[in-house]
Structure 1
Amino acid sequence: MNDLPVSPPPAVEALSTPVPSAPAADRSPLLNFFLDALIALVILLVVSIAAGMAWGVIRGFQLVLEARSRGVEIDPAQVAHQLGQPGAMAQLLMALVSTGAAALVVYFWRRRATAAERRESWAALRHPGTWGLAALVAVGVFCFSTATGMLADRLDIKPVPTNLSLMSDLLSQWPLSAVLFAVVLAPAYEELLFRRVLFGRLLAAGRPVLGIVLSSLAFALLHEIPGLSGNGVLAICQLWLVYGTMGAAFAWLYWRTGSLWAAILAHGLNNAIAMAALYWFGLQ
């Protein structure tokens, strides 16, 4: 799945796999890219709303049972008033279910890997160079985001990522769950959706650069949606730059190694470094 020179060095040659041609039925890869993204967005929104409603029902029953245990009658209006907002763990579970549902449905429905692709991916993962590139990309992405944050701070641009408060609460209350979500589950689902499905469709059609640009834009938009935080225009642009660069780096790694596992490893390692920095130094 790489576009390599004709005679790469031996250490790199072992990583190279041919770029698959676009399926005969996929005569409109760009249209299908946006269709994939739209389907994933609809599933994400529907499942998020359903999960929120489910939390509200469960929380409502808890409030009623707690009131009855104290011998107090409570009416529906009071229940609705006392619901409040989901806690950190509830938000984590809702994000996990909605993101996972979107990634898995679109993957199995729209761009499921063939047996040959799975064999090539595992073969690339067994090569030491794949692990080295994954580590290099992870560290490079973290250094770039840190440097960008420091520069933005000097320019008096102080963005607050939408998920920063949630991750801080999770680290303080549920550290193991936070690590499992950020280092294992979220990278797997996000790479499946953004790199395998979205980027992979245009890569297979022979348009990798366009695939990197569009999938990275989608990745950045999902992580920082305008209006969901108090960030100003410049702060949002700085976050988009960080997330977009991150998405481009992981897409390049997938393209370069031919293994989605390499992108998942790099994504998970980057998140692990960021969480360690947040925990020990309070860095973003």
Structure 2
Amino acid sequence: MELSILDLATLAVGKTAKDVLEDSTRLAKAGEEFGYTRFWIAEHHNISALCCPSPEVMLGYIGANTETIRLGSGATLLPYYKPYKIAETFNLLSSLFPNRIDLGVGRGPGGSPEAKLALSDNFSEQAKKFPDTVKELKDFLDNSFPHKHPYSTINAYPIPSVPPQLWILGTSLESARLAALYGVPYAFGHFLSANKSSEIMNYYHNNLKGKESGIKPKTIFAVFVICAETNERAQELARSALLWEVQLSTGIGDKGLPSFIESNGYTFSRQEMELIRNFKNKMIIGSPTEVKKTNRYTKYI
């Protein structure tokens, strides 16, 4: 089983955005040193505690500071953009960092309604066209438009020696269907929604187009993991994340991840404890030995 990192570039109390983005780079370098397969960074807008609105910019910087680890967007929010521009951008990254670039795409807004309007006049309409937009993006990356298509004479220069690997990210059966239909890898965001995860992953594996010609299912199952030297230390670290989840649910988490001092001194209410139990259902918390024993998700990979 391969291990990878998805980074949200999360602001912590007392840190600046510059601190966070430099931490992201250090995290990618540590992942490379420890043998992780890939490092992805997410796209968000108008969320003060999430510091990366442009994964493609961060990937260029991180790529220049690493050597071998795969790098990708998790996800590029495709309804905001024209597929041709995304293909050009990620072909450029793939030219700089050959055989290291993943292009994960999603259809969500990644931010507030106001930000969605500021970024696009017709986001909702473009989200409905997501299947067609993904197909257009795939054709640009593969240079596979039919001869009579208006875009058949267009190239997304520069053309890399190895094109970026397209992934579809999602939490629904619809996203799995799309990945299966187009014969591309699929990443399921369990940390966002655990609903019907088994059904969704099984559908992708059983219906992947191209299996008869040798295409194999390729999946990521993205789980929220907090791991430390001991179970006790992991639970202590988890308190900050859990307190932040509680704060976000009540609209007061805009300052970022609480400090250990704040979280350790906080007393959760009975209602908050119920929220925490629900959050923990989507998390793995423990020592390396304990995390390794928690293998209930490996069947999906």
TM-score (norm 2): 0.22
| Between structures 1 and 2, the one with greater strand share | 2
**Rg bigger for which structure?**
1
State the structure with bigger RCO (CA 8 A, min sep 6), 1 or 2: 1
TM-score (norm 1): 0.23
